[in-house]
């Protein structure tokens, strides 16, 4: 379990997110889509696709 600050909001990105993009691209997505500061006390959750072999 990840502890979160009191009053923090959790934002869930729906759908598939390319997890190889790295933090800078994910932070830019938070800024452009949600209009939020990625370095705030909020938690941003992204989901990737499971690899199928």
Q: Each residue of 14-47: pLDDT tens digit?
A: 878 888 888 899 999 899 988 999 998 888 888 8
Nearest CA to 11 out of 52, 31, 19 is that of 31
Helix ranges (DSSP H) in 1-53: 23-29
* Structural tokens at position 15: 């759908």
What sign does the CA torsion over 13, 17, 21, 25 have? negative
Statement: residue 52 has pLDDT above 60: no
Residue 1: band (very low, low, confident or very high) from pLDDT cuts 50, 70, 90: confident
Q: Please give the tally of structural domains in the chain.
A: 1
Statement: residue 50 has pLDDT above 70: no
Distance between start and end Cα atoms, the chain:
29
As a whole number of angstroms, the distance between CA 35 and CA 17 comes to 18
Domain with 11, as residue range(s), is: 1-53
């Amino acid at each position: 379990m990840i502890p979160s600050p009191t009053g923090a909001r959790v934002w869930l990105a729906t759908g598939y997110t390319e997890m190889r993009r790295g933090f800078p691209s994910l932070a830019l997505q938070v800024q452009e889509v949600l209009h939020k500061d990625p370095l705030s006390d909020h938690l941003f959750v992204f989901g990737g696709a499971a690899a199928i072999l």
